[in-house]
Chain A
């Protein structure tokens, strides 16, 4: 049997279970919980706390993102604005400061301009080059 057939069957069984669950009355669910020996109130408190925390965390993240946006520094020079000579100089400086970086890129003499730009972007992402400094 194919994986897609398995998938379709799993979803059909899931939907039937959900349909029954949503059609079950509150009273019946409580009877089931009692039969299972579950502490409904304690479990509900725990889940409500989970949801409450998730909602609060999301709001905090939104607020922090807004604050970061408001304090964002002036636009930094984009890679398209930098000459290949500047890019090479910045990359070589980064290699001098961190010898381990050179292992992956050798001396750089046989790399294409596109490779230099790609490497520059990588090093900025890795915080090995500060794009706000030395761009001239």
Chain B
């Protein structure tokens, strides 16, 4: 299963069955089909999936590729059971679906202190109470202080992520400082230029542009080895 299909629109947020007016027109996979798709992934597919997850980590709350893949799998299984989650349309190749789901999850995880609190409450909630009920009760109890705490945590989290993104960008610039073609590529990507515009400005051929893009992707894999495992 080669990964030639990629959708640029990020996967939509978690959805529940019955809320999408067009869901009857789309055929979604069952839990058995999701599990079968996992078994059918080749060794190269799995390598590609892990590398894709690694590229999605920047600016997200996920520390490791496997964490993100694990979460995407669970959300897909949830939705296949009719619960809140990410639904895999049968018409979309599993690999492309997983990559887009991971992109969406990584983006959604940014500044997710409240979600982490809810996940913690799933463990702590008394029997008969949902995590939201228990969390709501505790938040209500200390609502004044918690409101301030939450705002502070959100702000600190946003500052940390922004700082991490700035560091990543600086590291990328430094790593590719000696490769002029990649510098043109990065400049074009950052400025939202079309490839043809980059070719025009840089004097690169299409082949040189494509190989620069390949070197860039390979360079990123090596630049952030700690979070690429």
Chain B residues with CB below 8 A from A73, complex form: 128
A residues near B2, Cβ cutoff 8 Å: 25-26
A41 touches B43 (CB 8 A): yes
A33 sits at the interface (CB 8 A): yes
Q: How many residues of A contact B (CB 8 A)?
A: 54
Known A-B contacts A10-B168, A40-B43; the reply to A125 vs B138 at CB < 8 A is: yes
CB of B151 to closest CB in A, whole Å: 17
Contact sample, A vs B, 26 pairs, CB 8 Å cutoff: A3-B165, A10-B168, A12-B192, A13-B220, A14-B103, A16-B185, A18-B52, A20-B213, A22-B3, A22-B5, A22-B96, A26-B42, A26-B44, A30-B44, A43-B46, A47-B46, A47-B49, A47-B66, A48-B46, A51-B38, A51-B70, A54-B70, A55-B73, A58-B73, A58-B78, A122-B137
Contact A10 B73 (CB under 8 A): no
Give the distance in Å from the alpha carbon of A119 to the alpha carbon of B78 in the complex: 34
With an 8 A cutoff between CB atoms, is A23 at the interface? yes
- CB of A57, distance to nearest CB on chain B (Å): 7
A/B pair count, beta carbons within 8 Å? 173
User: Chain B: interface residue count, which band?
Assistant: 35 or more
- The proximity string for B residues 41-83 relative to A, scoring 1 for CB distances below 8 Å and 0 otherwise, is 1111011111110011011000000100110011001100101
Q: Is the interface of A mostly helix, strand, loop or mixed?
A: helix
On whether the beta carbons of A29 and B44 are closer than 8 Å, the reply is: yes
Give me the interface of A with B, judged by CB distance under 8 Å: 1, 3, 6-7, 9-26, 29-30, 32-33, 38, 40-41, 43-44, 47-48, 50-52, 54-55, 57-59, 62, 68, 72-73, 76, 118-119, 121-122, 124-127
User: For residue B31, which residue of chain A has the nearest CB?
Assistant: A59
